[in-house]
Structure 1
Amino acid sequence: EWCAEEGESCEVYPCCDGLICYPTFPEPICGV
């Protein structure tokens, strides 16, 4: 199963373990 790495968009895929999906514009981004 695919997951989004740090700095990648979490609009389509959920963030990888330990990362948080931040509701940034224009698309949400995974971060610590």
Structure 2
Amino acid sequence: GLDETKIRKYVKYQEERERQEEGEQQEFGLF
């Protein structure tokens, strides 16, 4: 249902945020 979609979007958002934080430490100049 709708809650499942929200949860999936939230999880995906969190994963991408963590990935960006890791990436900023390694390749800060890219962003």
TM-score over 0.5 for the pair = no
Larger fraction in strand: 1
Q: What's the TM-score once normalised by structure 2's chain length?
A: 0.19
Higher relative contact order (CA 8 A, sep 6+): 1
Q: What's the TM-score once normalised by structure 1's chain length?
A: 0.19
Higher gyration radius (CA): 2
